[in-house]
Structure formats: C-alpha cells, structure tokens
C-alpha cells in the first residue's frame, strides 16, 4: 500500500529538514528546502486542488480566494481580497524584501 504524502510522519519531515544544506547557490538552497518540505507542500497543494473551481459559482470562487489569502497571511505575506460587484475576487499579496532591487509579479 502506498502512503499519501500528507500522511507521512512528522519524524520523517523533521529528519529531512534537519539534513545539512551542503548547497551554496540560490537554486541549490531552494531545491534542498523544497525537498525537505515536500510532504507538507504536496499536502497543501492537494488541499488547494480540492476546492471547486467553477467560474459561475461565485460562492466557491470566494471561498477558494479566501483560502489562498489566508495561506499567504499565514506565511507573512500582506494579502487581501480585492472585490468589485459582479466580478470574481482577486487575491493581492505583497511581500516586501529590504534591499530588493527588482519586483516579481505573478498572475494566475
């Protein structure tokens, strides 16, 4: 029987997170972090995918948008729902990084 990633024990996750980061470059550090946190990331992604995503159902779209906003807030991103009557909400988030010289915009 295959165990879903969401059900892996906390001990496995902690052991992975405790592994030394031998990587020095940005991409290597990012990859090591992703690998150490993969079970939680997969679980979070599976939860996001469980929300209905039918454009004509505005209540479901609002619940999904609120979930995304709340997830952003939980990790320290200033986030809010922008709403206009008759249109689906937009999740807007800002993460200010001191000393940053560029801006990255994502639209999904």
Predicted confidence (pLDDT) per residue in 43-60, tens digit: 999 999 999 888 889 899
Residue 104 has pLDDT above 90, yes or no: no
pTM here? 0.68
- So what's the pLDDT on residue 3? 43
Confidence band, pLDDT 50/70/90 cuts, at residue 36: very high
State mean pLDDT over 27-56. 92
The reported pLDDT for the residue numbered 78 is: 95
Rounded mean pLDDT, 12-27:
55
67 CB burial (10 A radius; 0-12, 13-18, 19+): middle
Question: What is the pLDDT, as a whole number, of residue 107?
Answer: 82
Tell me the mean pLDDT in the region 8-36. Answer: 65
pLDDT band, residue 20 (cuts 50/70/90): low
């Amino acid at each position: 029987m295959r165990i879903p990633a969401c059900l892996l024990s906390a001990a496995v996750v902690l052991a992975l997170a405790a592994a030394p980061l031998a990587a020095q470059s940005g991409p290597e550090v990012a990859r090591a972090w992703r690998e150490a946190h993969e079970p939680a990331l997969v679980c979070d992604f599976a939860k996001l995918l469980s929300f209905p995503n039918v454009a004509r159902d505005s209540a479901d779209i609002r619940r999904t948008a609120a979930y995304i906003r709340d997830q952003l807030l939980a990790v320290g991103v200033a986030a809010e729902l922008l709403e206009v009557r008759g249109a689906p909400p937009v999740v807007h988030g800002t993460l200010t990084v001191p000393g940053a010289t560029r801006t990255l915009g994502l639209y999904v």
